[in-house]
Amino acid sequence: MTADTWNPDQYQRFKDERSRPFYELLALIQPSAARADETGKGSADAGSGAHGAGMRVVDLGCGTGELTRELHRHLGARETVGLDSSSAMLSRAAPLAGGGLSFQEGDIPSFAQRLAAGDEAPFDLIFSNAALQWVDDHPPLLVNLTAGLAPGGQLAVQVPGNADHASHVVAAEVAQEEPFHTALGGHVRRFPILTPEGYAASLDRLGFAEQHVRLQVFGHYLGARDDVVEWVKGTLLTDYQKRLSPDLWDAFLDRYRARLLPQLEDSRPFFYPFKRLLFWARR
């Protein structure tokens, strides 16, 4: 097991920018939902009262939990569980628990397998913002998540689709240079996300009654092009940091910066276009 290099402070540096896709995803959730009961059978929600009142929700890869709390409050959910594998992120989330909101440490694919095995009570909403890109093999993952939904339950996911931006391409190139290639054992971080039409076809095959899939470009104004490095340090580069010694990590970062910055426009503010894929479906 590699080290937990998620750093809540680094991740939160672009908190406002990172929360925009979350709100777009939240807006896709429909108010009236089936209600998952304790026995695993769903029953229709009359839809009275708060948006999504009575829903049982899970937020996969909840991170620092602030957006999970926002989700829980916005929906007026009966119960929301935030799941994450990073103890550093969860320690930030823990004080936010209460009033039906809880956090637990766990791995998304293992949790999805438990859902499929019926070891977890079904959810009215399975939500995930900017986390499933870290999980391999999405088609079987979607099968397992779907099995964990109550009748009428909803799946709402956002994943970055920015792998072809210089900020991501250069990271993969540096990882293949020496001495990093050897130190990383040949590892290059690829995000195994499907195309928008790939998700649409998967959701259709899984029998969802309704779906909405879209690719959206979020334009972020950063102070200067150097801020792109700070942004990526909070996410993609954590995957290299955890596999390198501190000295090699410093060298990796220097090399990354030296190769990346000349490829970015030297303007202030710097416009960072970030593609993201959002998909929502209802059983």
Task: Lay out the site mask for ligand SAM across 101-130 (x = CB under 6 A, - = otherwise).
Answer: ------xx--------------------xx
Please give the size of the binding site for ligand SAM, defined by CB under 6 A. Answer: 19
- Comparing CB distances to ligand SAM, the nearer of 7 and 30 is 7
Q: Which stretch binds ligand SAM (CB under 6 A): 131-139, 149-157, 171-179, 215-223?
A: 131-139
Task: Report the nearest approach of ligand SAM to the CB of residue 64 (Å).
Answer: 6
- DSSP H helices, the chain, are 8-12, 15-26, 66-75, 87-93, 108-116, 138-147, 166-175, 180-183, 196-205, 226-233, 238-241, 246-260
Cβ proximity to ligand SAM, 20 vs 181, nearer residue: 20
Residue closest to ligand SAM when measured from CB atoms: 63
In DSSP notation, 136-154 reads S-HHHHHHHHHHTEEEEEE
CA-to-CA separations, 176 to 229, 240, 248, in angstroms, rounded:
18, 12, 14
**Per the structure block, which two tokens stand in for 191?**
């995000």
Lay out the site mask for ligand SAM across 162-201 (x = CB under 6 A, - = otherwise): ----------------------------------------
**269 CB contacts (<8 Å, ≥6 apart)?**
221, 222, 223, 224
For position 231 contacting ligand SAM by CB under 6 A, the verdict is no
Verify binding: residue 6, ligand SAM, rule CB under 6 A.
Answer: yes
> In the set 29, 57, 101, 135, which binds ligand SAM (CB under 6 A)?
135
CA nearest neighbour of 211 among 274, 154, 128, 132: 154
Shortest Cβ 63–ligand SAM spacing (Å): 3
Q: Which two tokens stand for residue 103?
A: 């956090």
First vs last C-alpha separation in the chain: 36
Establish if 222 lies at the interface with ligand SAM (CB under 6 A).
Answer: no
Q: Phi and psi for 59 in degrees, rounded to 5?
A: -115, 105
Q: Which residues bind ligand SAM (CB under 6 A)?
A: 6, 18, 22, 61-63, 67, 84-86, 89, 107-108, 129-131, 134-135, 235
